[in-house]
């Protein structure tokens, strides 16, 4: 499963990128507004940082304007994926943009029938929001399993399932087990994925034991060893 980071914060993206584990970025108008920066300049800078898909969302609500916005956004950078809401007009725009060879991410999916429509319209990605479903007492991970099954049953459907609205590390594991192609994860949750008290405890013990070794300069020891073998 690929991992995208769900943010428009450049510092967060830079740090996550430095870990060598992210494959792309998703943004939305809310995340961009939160940063208080120019929309297009921010999107371009993100796309320059990450060698992978970067979702940039249209803000129009009618198909003709969505299409116009989408075609322009796709020209901003080769990594741009045009993000479109799952509405009547959004599906029209998705179909038209896909026909033009523009990659699309259809967002705000809450049921499998919506995902099927997006796939039929040629969406590159469909984004089911599992956390928001959980808030309503509905198992969001079950939706991921359902969509994955539908797509596997019809090999003509090439859409990737992009699990969104991820709330915690358990969500990440669950959607991976359910067969999601991608999970887009907030920076805070990505940091939580590293953490376990047993890891910290074990590392502390290793360091305590290592402190008893006379020569602890691994780089120096290794360099001398390799030089002696030449």
Q: Domain limits of the chain?
A: 2-192, 197-229
pLDDT score of 230 more than 90: no
Q: Which one of 83, 120, 188, 208 is the catalytic residue? A: 83
Does residue 6 surpass a pLDDT of 90? yes
Q: What is the pTM of this model?
A: 0.93
Annotated catalytic, 68? no
User: Alpha-carbon distance 104 to 187, whole Å?
Assistant: 23
For residue 20, the model assigns a pLDDT of 96
φ, ψ (nearest 5 deg) of residue 74: -65, -20
Which fold does the domain 2-192 belong to in CATH? TIM Barrel (3.20.20)
Q: Could you give the percent of the chain with pLDDT greater than 90? A: 97
pLDDT tens, 152-184?
Answer: 999 999 999 999 999 999 999 999 999 999 999
Q: Tens of pLDDT along 49-66?
A: 999 999 999 999 999 999
Q: How far apart are CA 6 and CA 229, in angstroms?
A: 49
Contact by Cβ (8 Å): 188, 152: no
Backbone angles phi, psi at 27, to 5 degrees: -130, 170
pLDDT at 214: 85
Phi, psi of 172 (to 5 degrees): -60, -45
Q: Is the pLDDT of residue 22 over 90?
A: yes
Give the N- to C-terminal CA distance of the chain in Å, as an integer.
Answer: 43
pLDDT tens digit string along 87-125? 999 999 999 999 999 999 999 999 999 999 999 999 999
């Amino acid at each position: 499963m690929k991992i995208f980071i769900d943010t428009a914060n450049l510092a967060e993206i830079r740090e996550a990128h430095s870990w060598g584990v992210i494959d792309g970025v998703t943004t939305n108008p809310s995340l961009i507004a939160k940063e208080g920066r120019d929309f297009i300049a921010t999107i371009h800078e993100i796309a320059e940082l990450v060698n992978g898909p970067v979702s940039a969302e249209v803000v129009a609500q009618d198909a003709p304007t969505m299409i116009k916005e989408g075609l322009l956004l796709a020209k901003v950078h080769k990594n741009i994926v045009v993000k479109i809401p799952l509405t009547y007009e959004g599906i029209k725009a998705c179909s038209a943009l896909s026909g033009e060879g523009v990659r699309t991410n259809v967002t705000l999916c809450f049921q499998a029938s919506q995902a099927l429509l997006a796939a039929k319209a040629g969406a590159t990605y469909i984004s089911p929001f599992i956390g928001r479903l959980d808030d309503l007492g509905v198992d969001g991970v079950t939706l991921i399993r359902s969509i994955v099954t539908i797509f596997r049953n019809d090999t003509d459907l090439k859409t990737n399932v992009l699990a969104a609205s991820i709330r915690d590390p358990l969500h990440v594991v669950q959607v991976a087990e359910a067969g999601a192609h991608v999970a887009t994860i907030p920076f805070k949750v990505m940091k939580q994925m590293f953490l376990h008290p047993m890891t910290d405890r074990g590392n502390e013990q290793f360091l305590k034991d290592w402190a008893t070794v006379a020569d602890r300069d691994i780089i120096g020891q290794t360099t001398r060893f390799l030089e002696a073998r030449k």
